[in-house]
Amino acid sequence: MKQGRFSFSTLVEIADAVDFPGSEAPGEAFVNAVGILQRAVGAKLAPSYLLDVDGNHAVLVSDQEHWAILGKTYPTIVAAIHVQPPWTHPEGRPVAVADHINEKAYTRLPESFRDWFDHTGLCVPVHANRRHLGAILMTFDQPFDLTQAASDFLTAAGHILGAALYRWQVAKRQRELGALEERRLLADELHIDLSQHIAALGLHVGAMRLDLDQARAGSGLDQLEADVDRLDDMVGLLRSSLRQEMLGLRADVELLKAPYVLGLSGEAELIDEPLHRVVRRHVRNFEKLLGIPVELDFARPDEIANVPLAVVSQFIRVLQEALANTRLHSEATRLVIRLAATRDQVRLEIQDNGRGFDPAVVPESRLGLSIMRERIEQVGGTLEIDTAVGQGTRVLAVAPLVSVSGGMRVPLGVGV
């Protein structure tokens, strides 16, 4: 059979495809590079399975064609069964199924898996720094002659892909550390804000003592009554800030119930409960504490249950900020929150019947709107704010669950 082009120029083409391709998502770049390799060797199928950060699962990363064949049955595979010798060659060299067709490493695989990954199959490890990061599982229309030249070529390709994957993982980790630093700074700002509230209360109480002395002397009673009203307002603001902070801490605790999994967009990356249950509990706490009724509308809860932790975290924070804005600024008496998901995206909509506002005149000191937008952009999503004076406010957050572009379908966060 014709075995394609085992050439240096093809390796350069693969390297160029994963060399930070502009606006393309890294996951899509990885799929494009694997497509170049697939065409070069004439493979019929070439799905990639990449390990999560804990090494417990490997996740399918593929174009739409491969996803249609394997996505429903094998979106992930258990590493303990599939990721083991001889498939994990210490030097990252390709392994032919035909050489191990009667061995336990192959026969123990599920029969439905062996139906497509048959005796023509090749396991091409994705390797970097002597670490096994995943594999490309190739099949052919007829047996593949794994010559020394073919083996060297596929080994080099696997190392190029592995180096890119490792680089993306490091970059993602650095972004996560930056996000943690941002959260620390925000926590400091919240602490300062609460301290300012308390300091202001202390100063106001001191002024009231002076007014009280004047009232006892027969004057200043009106000023004392005004001071009491102002003190009541200040206590109300402090109470609201404390309640919002308590809700935020509670959300953080919920999100820490399960370990963060880098590179897995399925069940293992979820918190203990589906997103709609987390939102429901969070909103009910808000409703109970602040007394504003909230109508919840959840569509397709099964799809909502498959939202990655990174997206859940940002959605909860956007929800918090939107509820805080409603309480502090909108004078709303009712909210509607809608949550819906498909296989490709999740949408969170928060709408109130308050007084609305003119976005063009929002002061720069109001950082909440920009922070909400930045949070959603961190997970590749968008945020829309639809409002006008006297017409209420609608906040719509949309985040992708897979990256779909040019026929590619890549679960979010798979090592990139």
User: pLDDT tens digits for 51-75?
Assistant: 876 677 788 888 888 888 888 888 8
Rounded to an integer, the average pLDDT of 202-212 is 71
Can you give the pLDDT at residue 382? 92
- Residues with Cβ within 8 Å of 233's Cβ and at least 6 positions away in sequence, in order, are none
Provide the residue count of the chain. 416
| CATH of segment(s) 266-400 | 3.30.565.10
Q: Under CATH, domain 8-171 is a member of which superfamily? A: GAF domain (3.30.450.40)
pLDDT above 90 for 203: no
Can you give the pLDDT at residue 212? 76
d(CA 242, CA 49): 46
Structure-model confidence comparison of residues 276 and 218, the more confident one: 276
pLDDT above 60 for 180: no
Can you give the pLDDT at residue 362? 66
Q: Please, are residues 193 and 241 in contact by the beta-carbon 8 Å criterion?
A: yes
User: pLDDT tens digits for 334-344?
Assistant: 999 999 888 77
User: pLDDT tens digits for 117-174?
Assistant: 999 999 999 988 778 889 999 999 998 889 999 999 999 999 999 988 888 877 776 6
Residue of 194, 190, 192, 319 whose CA lies nearest to 254: 319
Can you give the pLDDT at residue 237? 66
The Cα-based distances of 327 to 157, 190, 280 in angstroms read 56, 17, 18
Handedness of CA 240, 244, 250, 253 (dihedral sign): negative
Residue-averaged pLDDT of the chain: 76
Residue of 117, 112, 81 whose CA lies nearest to 96: 117
Provide the pairing of β-strand 335-341 with 294-299. parallel
Q: How confident is the model at residue 401 (pLDDT cuts 50, 70, 90)?
A: confident
Structure-model confidence comparison of residues 137 and 208, the more confident one: 137
Residue of 265, 319, 322, 323 whose CA lies nearest to 293: 323
User: pLDDT tens digits for 213-256?
Assistant: 777 777 767 777 777 777 777 776 666 666 555 544 444 444 43
Write down the domain spans for the chain: 8-171, 266-400
Q: How confident is the model at residue 327 (pLDDT cuts 50, 70, 90)?
A: confident
Can you give the pLDDT at residue 242? 61
Rounded to an integer, the average pLDDT of 258-267 is 32
Question: At 24, phi and psi to the nearest 5?
Answer: -70, 145
User: pLDDT tens digits for 303-318?
Assistant: 666 677 778 878 888 8
Rounded to an integer, the average pLDDT of 280-299 is 80
d(CA 382, CA 219): 58
Single pTM value for the model: 0.50
Contacts 24+ apart (CB under 8 A), 246-255: 247/282, 247/285, 247/286, 247/289, 247/320, 247/323, 248/317, 248/320, 250/282, 250/285, 251/278, 251/282, 251/316, 251/317, 251/320, 254/278, 254/281, 254/316, 255/309, 255/312, 255/313, 255/316
Structure-model confidence comparison of residues 319 and 232, the more confident one: 319
Q: Please, are residues 395 and 350 in contact by the beta-carbon 8 Å criterion?
A: yes
C-alpha count within 13 angstroms, C-beta hemisphere, residue 376 = 25
Can you give the pLDDT at residue 351? 93
- Distance in Å from the first CA to the final CA of the chain: 36
Can you give the pLDDT at residue 326? 80
